[in-house]
Chains A and B, each alone.
Chain A
């Protein structure tokens, strides 16, 4: 079983919809990362969090350490949000991350 599981694997939405992507992990962590990968390959770090909630523009990331679960929300989605969103965790004491397989989001106009 993978240590980091994301759901859904694929998500299609209409412009303006509220989007939620979920990440569950089975190991103890010291931090969780959300990354965005656009078609073409480049990956950008969106959030890094170890507790609570962070917000950047229309993106919100939350984490519940007790439940070993994180969510990434996108409000008022737009076609330019179409990308693969990747969850990754640091298991503590390591410089390395463990990655989920990603959620492919398509936002239609």
Chain B
């Protein structure tokens, strides 16, 4: 089975801190995604990567950056955390192949910024 592992289930940080969320997948997937999920808004794409060192902005990239130095690992970085970044963060991966490939999700990281 595909395993997508996010480094933390729960995380509490302070305003202004630099925050790293890590995601690792074990199925050699080309595509990796970072989403945030907020009540009433559904899943929104922050960033997407289709290959090592390649990245593409999603719908809400402001305040975030990403890093993909190795195929299996995709990191989300909050450059200077703010309270409006308190949310559930979900990582996903898939094979390259358009929308005809299922995305496999991690368990999510519930991040609180105080």
Contact = CB atoms under 8 A, between A and B. Distances in A.
Task: Tell me whether chain A's interface is mostly helix, strand or loop, or mixed.
Answer: loop
A50 interface: yes
Contacts of B92: 43
B68 to A, nearest CB: 14
Interface string A83-102: 00010111111111101111
B99 A42 contact: no
B96 interface: yes
Interface of B: 31, 33, 40-45, 48, 50, 58, 88, 90, 92, 94, 96, 98-108, 110
Given A86-B43, A102-B42, A41 B98 contact: no
Contacts of A31: 98-100
Contacts of B50: 95
Contacts of B102: 33, 45, 48
A76 interface: no
